[in-house]
Amino acid sequence: MRVENITLNNFRNYAKVSFKPHPSINIITGHNAQGKTNLLESIYYSLKGHSFRADRDRDVIKWQQETAVINTEIMVSSRQFLIQWLIKASGKKFRLNGTEVPRAELDQFGVVLFCPEDLYLVKGSPQERRRFLDLEVGPLHPGYSHACRQYARVLSQRNILLKEIRGRQANPDILDIWDEQLYRHGARVIFLRLQVLKKLIPVARSIHLELTNGLEQLQAKYLSSLVLDLSFSEEQIYQVFSQAAKQIRKLEIDRCQTLLGPHRDDISLAINGAEAKTFGSQGQQRTVTLSLKLSVLELWYREFGHYPVLLLDDVLFELDHNRQTMLLDKLQDKVQTFITTSFPGGIDDQIKQVGQIWRVHAGNLTG
Ligand SMILES: Nc1ncnc2c1ncn2[C@@H]1O[C@H](COP(=O)(O)OP(=O)(O)OP(=O)(O)O)[C@@H](O)[C@H]1O
């Protein structure tokens, strides 16, 4: 998949810009605060329907303006698409090839982002790893995002109900109806996570080995709040979930919290047997994150037959020279990549030959 053209109107600090990226490697350079990340953000926004760093859509509209527009032409396996976003403070509109369609249509377009905040995937709380599972790994299975939304809805209703039961405003018997849905959707979410991870982890291990010249073995394992065997069917997970949850129902009412389920699960990450979060150096943690991101990219290719677009925001030149070269060799001519940096001096001649360098200054882009 390739972004062939992107036009921005009043997006962040870009008043008007049109950008025809190189099909392989695009290096976006410029001093700090000129609009490099904003450009990556616009690509991400057009393909995902939201920003990776703004909580509110209105934040991406250029200050003192009413509307931001992003028009993106992309090519996926010889098919052309035009994605159009019109973003206002009051809401946003999405068109695909000129027609308003459900946003789920965007699921067919892939984008993988690696930015400095992603290091929390290794060193942060379980919540960060669940975000990775829900937003990046899970969607490699077409039914995952829907199952995840269903589970989140039931979970939030159930937690409200637990509070009402404890305050004697609701009858505990009503819980049975919600619990049944909680176990069904929860078992589906866990089952799909395990299915995707079964494929993803071996890919991540082999990429990690490659990036570290065979020196580091990556171990990744799903940690569930339920006692599970990885070979369990969805029905078996349902049984385990319902039996375990029934035993702690009283405790859950006391705490007004649902204590078991996919929202309590995690992934353990280790390098050569030592937990990456506690023992990994910054560079090792960065490489683990990169291996996981690249494995999403690779698995996407195996599942859907094309590579997603890759966005590397301020992370490539933090890797040592060997890892940079290894990475660029892997991506070159296969994955359209957008890399930001404020240190153009660090750019290797190899990159200059296989891609294009762009300069950003105060919301203006030159090639
Ligand atoms: N909605 C907005 N309207 C106008 N300008 C904005 C808006 N949001 C952010 N900016 C401006 O965009 C600039 C930041 O751009 P960006 O984050 O892309 O910088 P960068 O080039 O990636 O910098 P760095 O190298 O420091 O990461 C800041 O000057 C900020 O004031």
Reading the block at residue 220, the tokens are: 């990744």
When mean pLDDT is compared across 27-41, 76-90, 338-352, the lowest value belongs to: 338-352
| Minimum CA distance residue for ligand 1 atom 13 | 33
Q: Assign 80 a pLDDT band (cuts: 50, 70, 90).
A: very high
Task: Name the more confident of 190 and 329.
Answer: 190
| Minimum CA distance residue for ligand 1 atom 31 | 33
Q: Assign 346 a pLDDT band (cuts: 50, 70, 90).
A: low
The atom of ligand 1 lying closest to the CA of 38 is 18
Mean pLDDT, residues 41-68? 96
Judge if 249 and 290 occupy the same domain: yes
Q: Assign 156 a pLDDT band (cuts: 50, 70, 90).
A: very high
Q: Residue 215 domain-assigned?
A: yes
pLDDT on residue 353: 79
pLDDT above 90: residue 333: no
Reading the block at residue 16, the tokens are: 């008007």
Q: Residue 115 domain-assigned?
A: no
Judge if 69 and 191 occupy the same domain: no
pLDDT on residue 97: 97
| Minimum CA distance residue for ligand 1 atom 27 | 32
Mean pLDDT, residues 182-187? 97
Show the ligand 1 pocket: residues with CB < 6 angstroms. Answer: 12-13, 30, 32-38, 59, 61-63, 314, 340, 342
Choose one of 257, 291, 306: the last residue of a domain.
306
Judge if 237 and 189 occupy the same domain: yes
Reading the block at residue 6, the tokens are: 């992107």
Q: Are 115 and 83 in contact (CB under 8 A)?
A: no
Pairwise CA distance, residues 49 & 43, whole Å = 10
Dihedral, 196, 197, 199, 205 alpha carbons, nearest 10: 150
Judge if 174 and 72 occupy the same domain: no
Judge if 261 and 349 occupy the same domain: no
pLDDT on residue 151: 97
pLDDT on residue 349: 72
Judge if 204 and 85 occupy the same domain: no
pLDDT above 90: residue 326: no
Expressed in angstroms and rounded, the spacing between residue 14 Cα and the centre of ligand 1 is 9
Mean pLDDT, residues 236-265? 96
Q: Are 296 and 288 in contact (CB under 8 A)?
A: no
**What residues contact 17, with CB distance under 8 A and at least 6 apart?**
7, 8, 363, 364, 365
Q: Residue 190 domain-assigned?
A: yes
The atom of ligand 1 lying closest to the CA of 60 is 1
Judge if 302 and 189 occupy the same domain: yes
Expressed in angstroms and rounded, the spacing between residue 35 Cα and the centre of ligand 1 is 5
| Minimum CA distance residue for ligand 1 atom 28 | 33
Span 20-42, pLDDT tens digits: 999 999 999 999 999 999 999 99
Give the CATH number, domain containing residue 205.
Answer: 1.20.1050.90
Give the CATH number, domain containing residue 314.
Answer: 3.40.50.300
Q: Residue 23 domain-assigned?
A: yes
Q: Are 161 and 170 in contact (CB under 8 A)?
A: yes
Mean pLDDT, residues 264-285? 96
The atom of ligand 1 lying closest to the CA of 65 is 3
| Minimum CA distance residue for ligand 1 atom 26 | 32
pLDDT above 90: residue 329: no
Q: Which residues are documented as binding site for ATP?
A: 30-37
Reading the block at residue 96, the tokens are: 């695909």
Mean pLDDT, residues 40-47? 97
Choose one of 259, 291, 306: the last residue of a domain.
306
Judge if 176 and 237 occupy the same domain: yes
Mean pLDDT, residues 72-95? 96
Q: Assign 155 a pLDDT band (cuts: 50, 70, 90).
A: very high
Expressed in angstroms and rounded, the spacing between residue 314 Cα and the centre of ligand 1 is 14
**Structure-token match 């490659």, residue found:** 210
The atom of ligand 1 lying closest to the CA of 342 is 25
Expressed in angstroms and rounded, the spacing between residue 8 Cα and the centre of ligand 1 is 15
Expressed in angstroms and rounded, the spacing between residue 12 Cα and the centre of ligand 1 is 7
Expressed in angstroms and rounded, the spacing between residue 34 Cα and the centre of ligand 1 is 6
Q: Residue 127 domain-assigned?
A: yes
Phi, psi of 364 (to 5 degrees): -120, 140
Q: For every residue of the chain, which 3-state class applies, written as one string?
A: CEEEEEEEEEECCEEEEEECCCCCEEEEECCCCCCHHHHHHHHHHHHHCCCCCCCCHHHHECCCCCEEEEEEEEEECCEEEEEEEEEECCEEEEEECCEECCHHHHHHCCEEEECHHHHHHHHCCHHHHHHHHHHHHHHHCCCHHHHHHHHHHHHHHHHHHHHHHHCCCCCHHHHHHHHHHHHHHHHHHHHHHHHHHHHHHHHHHHHHHHHCCCCCCEEEEEECCCCCCCCCCHHHHHHHHHHHHHHCHHHHHHHCCCCCCHHHCEEEEEECCEEHHHHCCHHHHHHHHHHHHHHHHHHHHHHHCCCCEEEEECCHHHCCHHHHHHHHHHHCCCCCEEEEECCHHHCCHHHHHHEEEEEEECCEEEC
Judge if 94 and 124 occupy the same domain: no
Judge if 350 and 317 occupy the same domain: yes
pLDDT above 70: residue 174: yes
pLDDT above 70: residue 228: yes
| Minimum CA distance residue for ligand 1 atom 19 | 33
Expressed in angstroms and rounded, the spacing between residue 316 Cα and the centre of ligand 1 is 20
Task: Look at the chain and count its residues.
Answer: 367
Judge if 232 and 174 occupy the same domain: yes
| Minimum CA distance residue for ligand 1 atom 29 | 33
Q: Assign 93 a pLDDT band (cuts: 50, 70, 90).
A: very high
Mean pLDDT, residues 112-123? 94
pLDDT above 80: residue 351: no
User: Which strand ranges, in their side-by-side order, compose the sheet holding 218-223?
Assistant: 218-223, 266-271, 274-275
Pairwise CA distance, residues 42 & 123, whole Å = 27
How many percent of the chain have pLDDT more than 90? 84
**Interhelix angle 175-211/282-304, nearest 10 degrees:** 110
Q: Assign 193 a pLDDT band (cuts: 50, 70, 90).
A: very high
Q: What's the mean per-residue pLDDT of the chain?
A: 94
Instruction: Indicate the top mutation candidate among 9, 11, 12, 313 to test ligand 1's pocket, ranked by most ligand atoms within 8 A of CB.
Output: 12
pLDDT on residue 257: 95
Q: Residue 48 domain-assigned?
A: yes
Choose one of 285, 306, 327: the last residue of a domain.
306
Q: Hey, CA dihedral for 341, 346, 347, 348, is it positive or negative?
A: negative
Q: Residue 332 domain-assigned?
A: yes
CA atoms within 13 A on the CB side of 36: 25
pLDDT on residue 88: 97
Mean pLDDT, residues 195-205? 97
Instruction: Using alpha carbons, select from 279, 357, 359 the residue that is nearest to residue 27.
Output: 357
Q: Which residues are documented as binding site?
A: 30-37
The atom of ligand 1 lying closest to the CA of 360 is 21
ipTM for the complex shown: 0.98
Judge if 160 and 292 occupy the same domain: yes
Q: Assign 306 a pLDDT band (cuts: 50, 70, 90).
A: very high
What is the residue range of 91's domain? Answer: 1-110+308-367
When mean pLDDT is compared across 69-83, 163-177, 298-312, the lowest value belongs to: 163-177
Q: Residue 106 domain-assigned?
A: yes
| Minimum CA distance residue for ligand 1 atom 11 | 13
Count of the separate structural domains present in the chain: 2
Mean pLDDT, residues 153-172? 93
Query: CA Rg, the chain, in Å?
Result: 22
Expressed in angstroms and rounded, the spacing between residue 36 Cα and the centre of ligand 1 is 8
Expressed in angstroms and rounded, the spacing between residue 138 Cα and the centre of ligand 1 is 31
